[in-house]
Amino acid sequence: MGSNPGDVDVSELLTKLTLEEKVSLLAGVDWWRTPVIKRPSVFVPHIKFTDGPNGARGESYVSGIKAACFPCGTCVGATFDADLAYRVGGAVAKEAKTKSAVALLGPTMNVIRSPLGGRNYETFSEDPFMLGILGAAYVRGCQAEGIAATPKHFVANDAENRRTKLSVEVDEQTLREIYLRPFQMVMKLSDPWCFMTSYNKVNGTYVPDSRRLVQDVLREEWGFKGTVVSDWAGTYSTAPGIEAGVDIEMPGPPKWRTKDAVTKAVEAGTLSQAKVDASARRVLELAKRLGCFEYPDEPPERAVEDAARDELIKVVGANGLTVLKNEQVLPIPEGSTVAVIGQHATSIVLGGGGSARVDALHTVNVPTGFEKLGYTTKVAAGVPVFGAVPHADPAIVFETGKQELTANPVKLEWFNGSVIGENLAHEERRPQAEYMIKEKWPSYLERDCCTRITFDLVAPSTGDHILSVISTGRALCYVNDQLVFTREQEKDLRLESFYFFKRQLEKRFTYSMTAGQRYSIRLESWATEEHLLAALDWKMFQGSAIRFHEHIDIPQRLEEAANIAKSCDYAVVCVGNVNEVESEGFDRETMDLPGEQYKLIQSVISANPKSVVVNFTGAPVAMTQFVDTAPAIVQAWFPGQEAGDSVAAVLSGNVNPSGRLPLSWPKRIEDNSSFGNFPVDSHDILRYEEGLDVGYKWYDRPDAPEPLFPFGFGLSYTTFSLESASILGQDAISDKNGYITVKATVKNTGMRAGKCLVQFYVARTPSDKGYVTLAPLKRLEGVAKVHVEPSETQEAVVQLDKYAVSSYDKDNSCWLAEKGAYQVLVGLSSVDIAHRINFSLPDSFTWQGV
């Protein structure tokens, strides 16, 4: 090592490490960090990771350190804008620095195969090309700030139910062209410093144990030289995973890569010393690249306000908003009165649940967004929307016996042993009646322990109110010292039980209360029984909560919404999902909106002919109930912490909508190509029997149903015409380095300036003998988003390379570009094709790599 710690010679350092020290580098020491090695003449700093991908949350789910919440993946996908994805990657990387992390766990790049996929909101698209383009841009933006991006989850992690058990059964061509291609493009276009493996098996082998996928494809075929990290608790072996090329087991302390286990494997000859050395080298090289040797100290995490970052979030959210229907309602004229209705209008849902969840620095709701622009608004609560019962409104929760509101009214006591009230180990106050043990077991707490949560609640109304107990262990609930509910030990335990599975864990009951009366609430709970924990493969998040939702008179709420809608010039009814419906850990059971939201929509649009339905979800929901009657429909996705500003900017016309659907929107779940093969079956098999026909490729088939809205669709406040299209260098794709240039002339035929998304699809014209490989009817291979002033024209230009004319030849294990006739289809959506341009490939060629 030279005078500058950053000048460390990795090869020399590696020779100084003992086998045990090298082994220690192959696993984390805690939830987020790799180990520190420090002895005379030897120093290895730690690497700290953070979740990703909608914002850098930081170390803890419960620490209280807030972070900026960015638009979700499908919102970024709906922009079809690589420049914005690049800027988001850079901004989230800057957030990672405020959390003292050097590696970000994102972007998520899995394919939206079914509308019900729990993590659809995290990823960009159903289309492999768009996933690759946007993912690569995000990675470049992140790494330009010196923070490692970690594209995930490699590969075919497109479902959440039983994700650590299921085996994806998929043919090689489909695996290559649909599920591996996004990661292949990211390698080609961005050179990531890390990759994350997925939880699932592919054709019977866990991905992190798959030498073929990790070593042969990712490392050797594609040339990846960086670090591969497991998903958290996604390591399933000792020697096979290291031999496959997975460098780090996370989190720590390790289950599989203990020093004893790895050392014995080397001594027994089931694991080569060279593989250990290679992985240790890559960990050291990553630490050097990230500046960890120069700056080994880890300052405290910070929550940082940043006006420029917030403006970016607003811009991306507005650019992703997608207008699906507009019968001369939008934009809403300046000076209009606007009824803003629904829980999603005032309680912004920032994203889905799981590891992408961010505790936002602040939120801008929809009424505030309109009011900033000078509109007069009236607000109606609408109907309640929740997965698990929500926490009680802070305005009705008090410290026991106290009359004034306080910031942390809930008392939480921990006791060692199984007797409530004996052997007090710890006491604290919290804002909500909930706790979770996740990152590490508290030092003051024994495994045999119990807790007591106490607070007072003032009933907001009279009626049978809903309470729920969510607990991974046994629990008792008391009201005014009377036992009112017993919750038995939960038997269906999973790794992430309390964090991801609150809706599945909760047990509800009703309790009659009188408005204005005070009630003493007490929840006693016990740690999860040891014999159940012993049966799990890995540690589990444990916790308990008592939640409350007041009795709601639904007919009265619907009447109120209708009256307020009727009293205003325009009505905006905000609906959607919450993060306990769209979440990591489980898939949705239905496309339907939860609660009575369809009744709310009908009440509003019946009362006001100038009504706009704004839907906040990360994935498609059923709309057939109102698509014909709603005058205007806007898909807002989960647009981030500046949501109200983004929505108001588009609905007011300050921003001309340019969002387009990055996925096909089915009329019903039965119309999707994965229906019948989603979710996982009882044998933990998930069959990808639709093959290449994912998304619009399925709806292109002549016998397929029509989608409600096609891929690439979205409306503007102006109109565009594709006047002409042409190809330069029609036979230029003669080998793996060639390309052709395609140009389309776009004219703005309306009265407003706007952005037009031009889509370029490639189709093959079958020869008499047919092709060696099967192919979809067309594939997206280029996009260009151009700004056009009224009555003006602009050129949209893309370059098409070997990917555009290649299919995977599974029989010869290579990509094959077959000579013959092709077409470029130029249009404004997957079904709105304006021009077809012929070109030819003069000679066939094969290729591998990127």
Is there a contact between 252 and 235 (Cβ–Cβ < 8 Å)? no
SS3 content of the chain, % helix, strand, coil (to 5): 25, 25, 50
Q: How many CA atoms lie within 13 A of 552 on its CB side?
A: 18
- Tokens 């042969």 locate to 216
Q: Which ranges constitute the DSSP H helices of 668-825? A: 696-699
- Tokens 């020779």 locate to 15
Measure the CA dihedral 830/155/119/490, to 10°.
Answer: 150
Residue 237 CA to residue 737 CA, distance in Å, equals: 40
Is there a contact between 508 and 466 (Cβ–Cβ < 8 Å)? yes
Structure tokens at 735: 């080998």
Q: What does the DSSP assignment read for 533-564?
A: HHTSSS---EEEEEEEE----HHHHHHHHHHH
Residue type, 678: F
Residue 529: DSSP 8-state: P
**Mapped to the 3 state alphabet, what secondary structure does 136-148 carry?**
HHHHHHHHHCCCE
Residue 288 CA to residue 101 CA, distance in Å, equals: 14
Q: Which of 231, 359, 456, 587 is catalytic?
A: 231
Residue 570 CA to residue 564 CA, distance in Å, equals: 10
Residue 119 CA to residue 357 CA, distance in Å, equals: 11
Is there a contact between 782 and 699 (Cβ–Cβ < 8 Å)? no
Please say if 587 is a catalytic residue: no
Backbone angles phi, psi at 407, to 5 degrees: -70, -35
Residue closest to 119 by CA, chosen among 387, 354, 359, 360? 354
Residue 240 CA to residue 10 CA, distance in Å, equals: 25
Residue 161 CA to residue 685 CA, distance in Å, equals: 11
**CB count in 10 Å sphere of residue 436:** 18
Residue 104 CA to residue 376 CA, distance in Å, equals: 42
Task: State how beta strands 337-341 and 376-380 pair.
Answer: parallel
For 321-448, strand residue ranges (E) read: 322-326, 337-341, 376-380, 397-398, 410-416, 424-430, 434-437
Residues annotated as catalytic (active site), given as ranges: 231
